[in-house]
Chain A
């Protein structure tokens, strides 16, 4: 049972354009969502997060949108830069319910930014 799904295994975007990565979840108990970026041979790096009490969180070029009714979140990167090429993981947790940091990850989307 895949509770967090990233249906696009890969995405290719031209430099300077907007990159949109999508993530869907099934567990309505999830109340905290995170995006991680992973380069080859490195561990995932925390990028941005959002609590379920919000529908948008912005940090520089990165914005995460949460649509609770659709159980969907997206990460927008604008403008996209070559250094953004990496695998992006969506993760979710039910912090209020479980009281512990059990992150459930999606399968990842490989983003390639073309010059």
Chain B
């Protein structure tokens, strides 16, 4: 397993601004992911954060809106750019500690974002 922390835990932002969320894992992991959970909805994968290369985005998510960094094997950031009220969600990062063998991901506590 892995211990994953996220900063900030919550934030209230104004429309049109950007917020960067940090995710730190207590051990080196090969795969890190970013999810969004909109109110009353399921968790939706935004992108896979690849170490040393561009993130791989899922359908409906683009780099300009959600730029992601992964500078090393324990850290990643997600930026929510040019925010609108529709971006109000919980954003979660996760990591796979099985090396891709078992598809068991461990999640951080989430960042609750409210956009006014």
Contact = CB atoms under 8 A, between A and B. Distances in A.
A41 B109 contact: yes
Interface of B: 1, 4, 31, 33, 41-45, 48, 58, 92, 94, 96, 100, 102-110
Interface stretch (A12-20, A53-61, A67-75, A100-108): A100-108
B109 A34 contact: no
Interface residues of A, number: 25
A105 B106 contact: no
A49 B42 contact: no
23 contacts: A36-B107, A41-B110, A43-B92, A43-B107, A43-B109, A44-B43, A44-B92, A44-B107, A49-B102, A89-B42, A91-B43, A100-B31, A100-B48, A101-B31, A101-B33, A101-B103, A102-B45, A102-B58, A103-B103, A104-B45, A105-B42, A105-B43, A105-B44
A65 interface: no
B110 to A, nearest CB: 5
